[in-house]
Amino acid sequence: MNPVPIQDSYPDGFSHCYGCGRFNERGLQIKSYWDGEEAVCTFTPRPYHIALPGYVYGGLIASLIDCHCIATAAAAAYRAEGREIGSEPRLRYVTAALHVDYARPTPLGVPLEVRAWATEIKGRKVVVMATLSAEGEVCARGEVVAVQMPEHMLPGQTQER
Amino acid sequence: MNPVPIQDSYPDGFSHCYGCGRFNERGLQIKSYWDGEEAVCTFTPRPYHIALPGYVYGGLIASLIDCHCIATAAAAAYRAEGREIGSEPRLRYVTAALHVDYARPTPLGVPLEVRAWATEIKGRKVVVMATLSAEGEVCARGEVVAVQMPEHMLPGQTQER
């Protein structure tokens, strides 16, 4: 498994996201790691990420799947071009569509593992599928349609660190 | 418009949700109001609910649509039975599937309006559609498949307030 999180390759201007921005002190700061043919992320919800007593809030599950799939889209697109993650020109994606199927209630208090892989890379679009598991059982499945970020949204292509 | 939020009819044991629980001090505490044939919710994201500078985080948008549609499902089901919202036996729903199409970037710093309406009520299932708008423009569209909560998840049917 690549020991550097995909999100660490995002330029500083792309790193404020509530879900995965390393500069968002109030955010989730999830980290996604490339692992062979897929990316993996582990996150333990806080006690207040609750739906009903004992179960994880579905909006958090959607958020984890969203951010992790967007990171996976970037990593998969770099790989398809035979380039190192984070190399110039930058590839950064946004969500066009998000779908989550909640297969079973997700227990609160244990680490959740999200795994995602690209199923289609075509032009500016990457389709990514994901599973979210707790204690070895799949609790939710997701699909994200990711599109390369429009130029007018880019806060600057240079990594300033 | 009904002046009482749908979420205020949830029993105390159902009111810890990160998205809409009135007892979740760390949560979003969204409020959904029944308005004729649909339900409306207004929410102003905090500055840290950011995706990129100037734009709202997609996971928050998914969360708002999810919780608001679940409230709409309950209100619509009560209405279909000709009963007052919150009357016994309680109707409370969970999310089986969530889909969000992000039509355009959602500006940060302005109130967002979510409107939702039921398109199907059948047995234990309610299908709800939603739009999320900023400054009069639709930024996202959502669909939630809501199912009546399984008995084993019910934390107690009596409203304790």
Least confident of A130-139, B39-48, B151-160: B151-160
Residue given tokens 């500055």 in the structure block: B47
Distance from CA of A3 to the nearest CA of B (A): 25
For residues A50 and B17, is the Cβ–Cβ distance under 8 A? yes
pLDDT of residue A158: 42
Contact residues on chain B for A68, CB-CB shorter than 8 A: none
Q: How sure is the predictor about B10, in pLDDT bands with cuts at 50, 70 and 90? A: confident
The per-residue pLDDT for range B90-148, each reduced to its tens digit, is 888 999 999 999 999 999 999 999 999 999 999 999 999 999 999 999 999 999 999 99
Per-residue tokens: B159: 């409203």
Residue B107 is given by DSSP the state B
Is the pLDDT confidence value at A40 over 60? yes
- Complex ipTM: 0.94
Is the pLDDT confidence value at B81 over 90? yes
Contact residues on chain A for B93, CB-CB shorter than 8 A: none
Q: Say what percent of chain B tops pLDDT 70.
A: 93
User: What is the C-alpha separation between B103 and B139, in angstroms, rounded?
Assistant: 5
Indicate yes or no: CB of A63 within 8 angstroms of CB of B66. no
Distance from CA of A94 to the nearest CA of B (A): 9
In terms of C-beta density within 10 A (0-12 exposed, 13-18 middle, 19 or more buried), how is residue A36 classed? exposed
Tell which residue, A108, A74, A78, has the closest CA to residue A93: A74
Per-residue tokens: B107: 């500006």
The distance in angstroms from the start CA to the end CA of chain B is 24
Q: How sure is the predictor about B1, in pLDDT bands with cuts at 50, 70 and 90? A: confident
Indicate yes or no: CB of A153 within 8 angstroms of CB of B52. yes
Per-residue tokens: B19: 């998205």
The per-residue pLDDT for range A61-109, each reduced to its tens digit, is 999 999 999 999 999 999 999 999 989 888 889 999 999 999 999 999 9
Report the chain B residue with the minimal C-alpha distance to residue A97. B101
CA dihedral B2, B6, B11, B16 (to 10 degrees): -140
pLDDT of residue A157: 45
The mean pLDDT of chain A is 92
For residues B44 and B123, is the Cβ–Cβ distance under 8 A? no
Per-residue tokens: B146: 């809501």
Indicate yes or no: CB of A50 within 8 angstroms of CB of B95. no
Contact residues on chain A for B104, CB-CB shorter than 8 A: none
The distance in angstroms from the start CA to the end CA of chain A is 24
Q: Please report how many Cα atoms fall inside a 13 Å half-sphere around the Cα of residue A14, on the Cβ side.
A: 24
Indicate yes or no: CB of B101 within 8 angstroms of CB of A96. yes
Is the pLDDT confidence value at B160 over 60? no
- Interface A–B counts its CB contacts (< 8 A) at 129
Q: How sure is the predictor about A2, in pLDDT bands with cuts at 50, 70 and 90? A: confident
User: What is the C-alpha separation between A130 and A65, in angstroms, rounded?
Assistant: 7
Residue A75 backbone phi and psi in degrees, to 5:
-60, -40
